A and B are shown apart, each in its own frame.
Chain A
Amino acid sequence: MNAAVALLQAKFPDEIVEVTEFRGDTTVTLKPERLVDICRLLKDDPETSFHYLSMIAGMDYSPQSPRFGVVYNLYSHKNHDRLTLKVFLTDDRTPVVDSVTSVWSTATWHEREAYDLLGIRFKGHPDLRRILMPPDWVGHPLRKDYPLKGK
């Protein structure tokens, strides 16, 4: 079994919602509450050693509820393997999740992007503002109810 999954099952058994395998990629769906602790463990544990956050993707699963999710793609240079973490956010109207900027610095820009384009807030982010759209833009363009061609 995947060493990272074994580690999470030993240390955070109650936080794991689901573990899936697809063509060699492992995805762990987690409850969002202890996300930062889990990320720190996966980074600091000498065995898993996920020092690299490839990207964070905000997701809009509309019309499903919970509607919003956040996906984290991790890479370990020690083992040359990947791990995907996924959380679903409980509040469909004001989606919010803890920021992982304290674990990986690169998360600052990725979280700003998810905030800008999907309106997901990251609690504890040092500088949460739009990154691609102009500061006075109204709405979040990657939401599924955002029109493709203007209003």
Chain B
Amino acid sequence: MTSIATMPRTETMMLNLGPQHPSTHGVLRVLLELDGELIVRADPDIGYLHRGIEKLCEYRTYHKCMPLMNRLDYLAGEANNFGFCLAVEKLLGIEVPKRAQYIRVMLAELTRIASHLFWLGTHGHDLGAMTPLFYAFREREKIMDLCEMVSGGRLFPLYFRIGGLAADLPAGFLPAVWDFVKTFDEKWQDYDTLLTENEIWKERTVGVGVMTAEEALDWGWSGPMARGSGVDWDLRRDNPYSSYEEFEFEVPLGTKAGDTYSRYLVRMAEMLQSNRIVRQVLENLPDGPVKVDDPRVSLPPKERVYTDIA
């Protein structure tokens, strides 16, 4: 029998992970300290995509900041413009017309689905499941088309404006959203069938990367990341804005175990809830203006521009 004294000496190993090329997802460098296959220490280097947007905004008016905002998270461009608009509108004391509020909610939820689909495809791919990527991108493409209809841009839609929207919805947009809404739940089954009860998938996600609810809050986690740990928190429900209080939806918490699998379940369920919200917008979309009548942020209607601009 080998005694401890004659065992080979072991030590941890440093491994440099990344950085990847800027066009790949998740540009990040992490210095890893490994003990066999276990990571015992990680030092993330997060600055590779730092673009100095705050500095760029120093010399811009609020309106000119808009194209920068949808680049903050280029998988959910409209959601970032949404947040920026809400902040500026709060500063100015502006109440956006109801129709614009509803359309913003619709686009924010469609964008959430698109972002989650991108996550689903690449997450699966990273863990060795190639097929879900093709299914996820099939539906994501439909949402990109919808973004293009309202703004001309796909990844970088620029449809929101401080005070409302750039223009009312183009002809044919609402029927196109209906097509998406009616078919998405069924398409979603494809991803669910491929992964949720898949033994290999569960082997690679259950019990991995565990974060308790208390740790999640202490480390400033939010959104689906925190909800996967059982933190029952959603600003759309708890501090509603843009008429979110008028929509019915649930806040999924997965298994609450705080592992990768629970976060997977949260995002999967959130896509269905978002689709549910989009459907409610379509059913209840009010008529009316899409931009606030406030000369600080809005031009007057075309027929009045020659008389009403001081």
Binding site for B on A (CB under 8 A): 23, 51-55, 77, 80, 104-106, 110, 117, 130-134, 141-142, 144, 146, 148
Q: A80-B238, A80-B239, A148-B59 are in contact. Are A51 and B218 (CB under 8 A)?
A: yes
Choose one: A80, A132, A148; the contact of B46 (CB below 8 Å): A132
Choose one: B46, B58, B239; the contact of A131 (CB below 8 Å): B46
When the two chains form their complex, are residues B220 and A106 in contact, meaning their CB atoms are under 8 A apart? Answer: yes
With CB as the reference atom, state the residue of chain A lying closest to B233: A77
Q: Is B55 an interface residue (CB 8 A)?
A: yes
Q: Is B231 an interface residue (CB 8 A)?
A: yes
Q: A80-B239, A141-B55, A142-B55 are in contact. Are A132 and B218 (CB under 8 A)?
A: no
B residues near A51, Cβ cutoff 8 Å: 217-218
CA distance A54 to B239 in the complex (A): 15
B residues near A131, Cβ cutoff 8 Å: 46-47
Q: Is B9 an interface residue (CB 8 A)?
A: no
A residues near B218, Cβ cutoff 8 Å: 51, 104-106
A residues near B238, Cβ cutoff 8 Å: 80
CA distance A51 to B220 in the complex (A): 9
With CB as the reference atom, state the residue of chain B lying closest to A53: B220
When the two chains form their complex, are residues B54 and A142 in contact, meaning their CB atoms are under 8 A apart? Answer: yes
When the two chains form their complex, are residues A133 and B220 in contact, meaning their CB atoms are under 8 A apart? Answer: no
When the two chains form their complex, are residues A23 and B55 in contact, meaning their CB atoms are under 8 A apart? Answer: no
Choose one: B52, B90, B231; the contact of A141 (CB below 8 Å): B52
B residues near A53, Cβ cutoff 8 Å: 220
When the two chains form their complex, are residues A104 and B220 in contact, meaning their CB atoms are under 8 A apart? Answer: yes
Q: Is B50 an interface residue (CB 8 A)?
A: yes
Chain A: minimal CB distance from B96 (Å): 15
Choose one: A23, A77, A132, A148; the contact of B50 (CB below 8 Å): A132
Can you list 28 residue pairs at the A/B interface with Cβ under 8 Å?
A: A23-B90, A51-B218, A52-B217, A52-B220, A54-B220, A55-B220, A77-B231, A77-B233, A80-B238, A80-B239, A104-B220, A106-B218, A106-B219, A106-B220, A117-B54, A130-B47, A131-B46, A132-B46, A132-B47, A132-B50, A133-B50, A141-B55, A142-B54, A142-B55, A144-B58, A146-B55, A148-B55, A148-B56
